[in-house]
Structure 1
């Protein structure tokens, strides 16, 4: 079966994941992570991508972004990937591919944007890289709780609804992270990003399919039901009457 085209929608938030080939590290140390963030910030401005959040792990990276122009996300990620791999290979004396294929992404309904930010914050803890989200420098959590502002990060629209002042928003977001996501929510976001399916309710998915012309949910397993045409005289007469022939 042919692979579905990757779904990218202008002005919609996307949860993006890129993993190392065969689980190999894509970041060996903090210098690698700093280089990735610098390239992200430069490329986001150039290509027109709003960068909302990130979690740089060891063998994978996660990002929450919104492309502002058609094709912006793809151009940004391709340029990032090429630039970073060239630097990584030179620095670590290696050759060949770094990534496990192309990056993957899920389009998010507006009410899934804040859960996606919380998901990013919890990934370093889930991976055993830090005891708390705030202890991991290489995510956007510290920006959103006011501990370490990052100028290149653009808060999504949902962020501003958390409070009327920066302090109120930071406190509200900290509570969201402390409450965390359910296992089902986290699993849905993870699988959607890895498989390229959008996340939202039925109304959102239907509107997205109408807008893009691309299927927005996996096909049901099994073969399609076979339609049997019974053209016996009796049924033929009934069909002819129903079609007013």
Structure 2
């Protein structure tokens, strides 16, 4: 069965996910997380790929990135894999694959879903009951985006910068986005689009992508499509009232 076509486009943010083989751990020690971040930064810098948010969980990773070219995301993971897999195998005297196949990912409509997706990624440790608050988890981008802690891996997106005129204002607005109740329909939509590779956005956004690539993008799941929770016009105004779980 042929692989589903990916719809990555230059300058369009992508939510990407990669999981350990058979859901087994890919990080075993503090040094492993640090090594992955070094390899991630080196690969992103080499490609000109901008990393906006990330979380490194025990057996998987999430990234939110903007590629410079259409194939940058695939090259990013290939580059990381060429360094990280041999590092893990050598360190722990193991052989074979580390990751469960190729990465999964989908592009997203910036204005409507970018900040929601950042929050989804950084709330992973809370959803996994590893911590009570995202700021308690060391291996994510939350402390950089919410508190301005230096992080050489990250490059801020224009929508993040638009949260305020100063660093302090942006960080305060970003932190406020983590207060509130979960929108289960948004959570379901993000997950479905990520695992199916379907663009996350309104019909106008999807038609633009279809026009650019010359093919239909399909739905995030079989049957009736999920009702989208917001639009590019009103999502930004609701950022302070939505939190992911």
Matches within 5 A, 1:209-228: 209-218=210-219
Deviation digits for residues 160-215 of structure 1, max 9, x if unmatched?
11111111110000000223641221221122112111100010011111111232
Tell whether 2:123 aligns with 1:122. yes
Q: TM-score, normalised by structure 2?
A: 0.86
Q: What CA distance in whole angstroms lies between the structure 2 residues aligned with 1:147 and 1:122? A: 17
Pick closer, same or farther for the CA change 1:180–1:155 going to 2, 3 Å: farther
Equivalence for 2:174: 173
Give the Å deviation of 1:87: 0.4
Q: What CA distance in whole angstroms lies between the structure 2 residues aligned with 1:220 and 1:92? A: 39
Pick closer, same or farther for the CA change 1:180–1:82 going to 2, 3 Å: farther
Q: TM-score, normalised by structure 1?
A: 0.86
In the alignment, is the contact (CA less than 8 A) between 1:121 and 1:177 conserved in 2? no
Instruction: Please identify, of 114-123 and 74-83, the stretch whose mean Cα deviation from structure 2 is larger.
Output: 74-83
In the alignment, is the contact (CA less than 8 A) between 2:85 and 2:98 conserved in 1? yes
Count matched residues.
222
Matches within 5 A, 1:102-121: 102-110=102-110, 111-121=112-122
Matches within 5 A, 1:162-241: 162-179=163-180, 181-218=182-219
Q: What CA distance in whole angstroms lies between the structure 1 residues aligned with 2:171 and 2:95? A: 43
In the alignment, is the contact (CA less than 8 A) between 1:13 and 1:65 conserved in 2? yes
Q: What CA distance in whole angstroms lies between the structure 1 residues aligned with 2:148 and 2:130? A: 19
Equivalence for 2:243: none
- Aligned residue for 1:54, secondary structure, equals strand
Give the Å deviation of 1:151: 2.6
Deviation digits for residues 110-137 of structure 1, max 9, x if unmatched?
1211001000111011112211100001
Q: What CA distance in whole angstroms lies between the structure 1 residues aligned with 2:102 and 2:221? A: 25
Q: What CA distance in whole angstroms lies between the structure 2 residues aligned with 1:80 and 1:52? A: 17
In the alignment, is the contact (CA less than 8 A) between 2:27 and 2:59 conserved in 1? yes
CA-based RMSD of the aligned residues comes to 1.7
Give the Å deviation of 1:147: 5.1
Give the Å deviation of 1:220: 8.5
Structure 1 unaligned residues grouped into runs of 5+: 223-245
In the alignment, is the contact (CA less than 8 A) between 2:125 and 2:134 conserved in 1? yes
Tell whether 2:71 aligns with 1:55. no
Equivalence for 1:157: 158
Query: Runs of 4 or more off by more than 4 Å in structure 1?
Result: 219-222
Equivalence for 1:39: 39
Bigger radius of gyration: 1
Equivalence for 2:99: 99
Give the Å deviation of 1:94: 0.8
